[in-house]
Amino acid sequence: MILEALQYAATYPVTPAEFRPYIRSSVGLWSRAGRCAKAWAPHEENCKTFIRETVTGIKQRRTAVVLGSGLLRDVPIKELAIAFDTVVLVDLVHLASVRAWLNAKRLSNVRLISRDLSGFQAALAGQTIEPLGFLRQVPYLDLVISANILSQIGVGAKRRPELADNPAKDDILRRLIQAHMEGLAVQPCRTVLITDVSYKVLDRKGETVEEDDLLCGLSPPPAKRNWPWPVAPFGELDRNCEAIHDVIAV
């Protein structure tokens, strides 16, 4: 708890006021990632490998943008910083520990942007959702990576009190997820989509006690790779159950 408090305190002053309410969940993810490091390691390496292989096929390497950069555990940031002139990391919150690590590695061509990538407010108002429209303003864009954020757009929106009794809830959730996928599809550069698409909760006998689709019934693009991600190994949420997510890379 002390480390979490210090992380929160150090992150608060460097985070824009509108995004400070999200610091707590980011710190929680940071803490959970530490506890689950061994279980998450294969997933993180699969993500990095897929991104590295994609970069290999890109001839012009000026600017790369990472959507949902988070803790940078699933992004080969050092390789990206070497390969591209500029790397832009976009997320709600950039923890103090992430900032300190980037400074320690002297990755001077990495830029941090705090931004809501969900499009939630526009969807709630019934407006056109274009959460990735800002990418049109990024000069010399050669790569966009959506790093394990797509499913979280829907999960996060479900928790918003504004949707609790909204009769259009399911439609809004689908619109948010569809807008992200469409935003990637129209980019004039190489794109990477890595996301979990569904999950199962298994007991110690391997029997499914719960399962659900994380993309609200929408179909993602055909996967080039897929793998399981033990998001919550035994003991994390329940001593007798584990949560396994199905991940795709496109």
Give me the residue spans of the domains in the chain.
Answer: 2-118+138-153+186-249
| The predicted structure's pLDDT at residue 151 | 95
Is 2.40.160 the CATH classification of the domain at 2-118+138-153+186-249? no
| The predicted structure's pLDDT at residue 160 | 86
> pLDDT band at 166, cuts 50/70/90?
confident
Summarised one tens digit per residue, pLDDT across range 182-227 is: 999 999 999 999 999 999 999 999 999 999 999 999 999 999 999 9
> pLDDT band at 60, cuts 50/70/90?
very high
In this prediction the pTM is 0.95
pLDDT for 164 beyond 90: no
- CA neighbours closer than 13 Å in the CB half-sphere of residue 77: 27
Summarised one tens digit per residue, pLDDT across range 116-132 is: 999 999 988 888 899 99
| Rounded alpha-carbon distances, angstroms, from residue 181 to 42, 157, 245 | 25, 16, 19
Summarised one tens digit per residue, pLDDT across range 137-152 is: 999 999 999 999 999 9
Summarised one tens digit per residue, pLDDT across range 20-36 is: 999 999 999 999 999 99
Q: Is residue 247 within 8 Å of 195, Cβ to Cβ?
A: yes
Grouping H, G, I as helix, E, B as strand and the rest as coil, residue 236 is coil
Residue of 47, 57, 92 whose CA lies nearest to 194: 47
| Rounded alpha-carbon distances, angstroms, from residue 220 to 17, 98, 154, 216, 245 | 34, 30, 14, 11, 15
| Rounded alpha-carbon distances, angstroms, from residue 198 to 1, 143, 223, 243 | 31, 26, 14, 10
| The predicted structure's pLDDT at residue 125 | 84
